[in-house]
A = this chain, B = another copy of it.
Amino acid sequence: MKNPPAISLPQGVRDILPEDALGIGVVETKILAIFSRYGFKRVITPLLEYVDVLSLGMGDNLKDRVLKFIDPSTGRVVAIRPDITPQIARIAATRMRDYPLPLKLCYNASVLRYHDNRDGRRSEVLQVGAEYIAKESSPEADAEMIIIAAEALRELGLKDFKIDIGDVGFLRAVFDGLNLSEPEKKLIKEAIGIKDSSGLDQIINSLGGKIAKADRELLLNLTTFYGEDEVIKKASAFVGKSGASAASRSLENLKCVFSIVADKGFKDFVTIDLGEVRGFDYYTGIIFEGFARGVGKSILSGGRYDNLLGKYGFDMAATGFAFDVENIITALGEKPRRV
Contact = CB atoms under 8 A, between A and B. Distances in A.
A50 B7 CA distance: 9
B313 A5 contact: yes
B44 A24 contact: yes
Interface in A95-141: 95-96, 105, 110, 112, 115, 124, 126
Nearest to A316: B1
Contact of A5 (B15, B115, B124, B312): B312
A69 B314 CA distance: 34
Given A3-B313, A78-B10, A115-B73, A18 B53 contact: no
Interface stretch (A86-94, A201-209, A256-264, A291-299): A86-94
A16 to B, nearest CB: 4
Interface in A34-93: 41-50, 53, 56, 67, 69, 71, 73-74, 76, 78, 80, 87, 90-91, 93
A11 interface: yes
A47 B112 contact: yes
A126 B105 CA distance: 20
Contacts of A214: none
B69 A313 contact: no
Contact of A46 (B13, B44, B90): B13
A213 interface: no
Interface string A304-339: 000000101111000000000000000000000000
A25 interface: yes
**Copies of this chain, whole number:** 2
Nearest to A40: B18
B56 A44 contact: no
Contact of A21 (B17, B43, B48): B43
A85 to B, nearest CB: 14
A248 B43 CA distance: 50
A181 interface: no
Contacts of A8: 50, 53
Q: Which of A4, A76, A80 has the most CB of B within 10 A?
A: A4
Nearest to A126: B44
A186 to B, nearest CB: 29
Contact of A43 (B2, B15, B87): B15
6 contacts: A1-B313, A8-B53, A10-B71, A11-B74, A18-B41, A47-B110
